[in-house]
């Protein structure tokens, strides 16, 4: 990973919102380089600017200060190369699984044959072959999540941005989807930027954890997680790292979900 090229750079990025004459500094002087293929978790308590940072990378917000670059070019707005997966999945309820996944290529007016090949490929990749022709309301939360990821991938994302995608799921589904996401990440060599406030989730998933703190939102530390995979959540190394992250977080905040 260390010799992979840098796909994303944030240089002293700050974001201040103005609400009814009051200024809220959501992010202060955040600098970060992400290499292609990394799985990076942004970890921190509520209000520390995780979503703001992710939304700047997605191109939904512009930085007030500093700059955000992808492949060394300024991020100036949303782009399919940076695909966002939302907690509520953001699927089109009136389209089937197949048409949701093929939506990006279809809106870019790709030839019908190419759209079909692309959708077939990603439907297979996320194991939804039997559900290709059903509608989102007929799927479980986990399956919707897979469709959302497949849709982003079919749209040629190089980087997948996920804002607490498993926050609304029960513990078992969450664990299964974490495994599935890791499998997909290993197969596709994607770059993932993943927001969570769960220490355990960050240690299970990532090869880097960026710890953030609030008031104003900032990056506090940047830790490499080089535990072997699959990770043993009851192992000593895992728990040492979990404890160390927990004390980092608690030195800045009140309570954070572990």
* Closer by beta carbon to ligand ATP, 50 or else 144: 50
Closest CB to ligand ATP among residues 42, 128: 42
CB of 203 to ligand ATP, least distance (A): 18
- Comparison of 52 and 145: residue with beta carbon closer to ligand ATP: 52
Give the residue with the Cβ less far from ligand ATP, 55 or 146.
Answer: 55
> What 3 state SS string does the chain have?
CCCCCEEEEEEEEEEEEEECCEEEEEEEEEEEEEECCCEEEEECCCCCCHHHHHHHHHCCCCCCEEEEEECCEECCCCCCCEEEECCCCCCCCCCCHHHHHCHHHHHCCCCHHHHHHHHHHHHHHCCCHHHCCCCHHHCCHHHHHHHHHHHHHHCCCCEEEEECCCCCCCHHHHHHHHHHHHHHHHHHCCEEEEEECCHHHHHHHCCEEEEEECCCCEEEEEEECCCCCCCCCCCHHHHHHHHHHHHHHHCCCCCCCC
Distance CA 132, CA 110 (A): 20
* Other CB atoms within 10 Å distance of the CB of residue 172: 9
Q: Whose Cβ is closer to ligand ATP: residue 34's or residue 128's?
A: 34
Q: Residue 65 CB, nearest distance to ligand ATP (Å)?
A: 15
- Closest CB 12 distance from ligand ATP, rounded Å: 17
| Least spacing, CB of residue 78 vs ligand ATP, in Å | 16
| Shortest reach from residue 218's CB to ligand ATP, in Å | 11
Cβ proximity to ligand ATP, 184 vs 256, nearer residue: 256
- Distance between CA atoms of 194 and 181, rounded to whole angstroms? 11
Minimum CB separation of residue 232 from ligand ATP in Å reads 28
Residue numbers at the binding site for ligand ATP (CB under 6 A): 17, 19, 24, 26, 44, 46-52, 197, 217
How many angstroms separate the CA atoms of 196 and 256, rounded? 11
* Least distance CB 27 / ligand ATP (angstroms): 7
Of 26 and 152, CB closest to ligand ATP: 26
Least separation in angstroms between residue 256's CB and ligand ATP is 10
Nearer to ligand ATP, 50 or 82 (CB): 50
**Positive or negative torsion for Cα 228, 232, 237, 240:** positive
């Amino acid at each position: 990973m260390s010799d992979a090229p840098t796909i994303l750079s944030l240089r002293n990025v700050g974001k201040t919102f103005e609400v009814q004459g009051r200024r809220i500094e959501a992010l202060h002087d955040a600098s970060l380089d992400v290499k292609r293929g990394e799985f990076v978790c942004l970890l921190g308590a509520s209000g520390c600017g995780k979503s703001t940072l992710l939304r700047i990378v997605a191109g939904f917000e512009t930085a007030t200060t500093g700059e955000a670059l992808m492949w060394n070019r300024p991020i100036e707005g949303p782009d399919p190369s940076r695909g966002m997966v939302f907690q509520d999945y953001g699927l089109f309820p009136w389209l089937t699984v197949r048409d949701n996944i093929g939506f990006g290529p279809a809106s870019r007016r790709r030839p019908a044959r190419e759209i079909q090949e692309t959708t077939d490929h990603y439907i297979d990749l996320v194991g939804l072959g039997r559900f290709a022709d059903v509608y989102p309301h007929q799927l479980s939360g986990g399956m919707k999540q897979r469709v959302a990821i497949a849709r982003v991938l079919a749209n040629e994302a190089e980087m997948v941005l996920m804002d607490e995608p498993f926050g609304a799921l029960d513990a078992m589904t969450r664990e299964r989807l974490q495994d599935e996401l890791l499998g997909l990440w290993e197969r596709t060599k994607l770059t993932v930027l993943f927001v969570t406030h769960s220490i355990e989730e960050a240690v299970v998933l990532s090869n880097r954890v960026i710890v953030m703190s609030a008031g104003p939102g900032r990056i506090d530390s940047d830790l490499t997680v080089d535990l072997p995979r699959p990770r043993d959540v009851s192992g000593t190394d895992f728990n040492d790292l979990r404890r160390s992250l927990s004390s980092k977080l608690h030195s800045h905040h009140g309570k954070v979900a572990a």
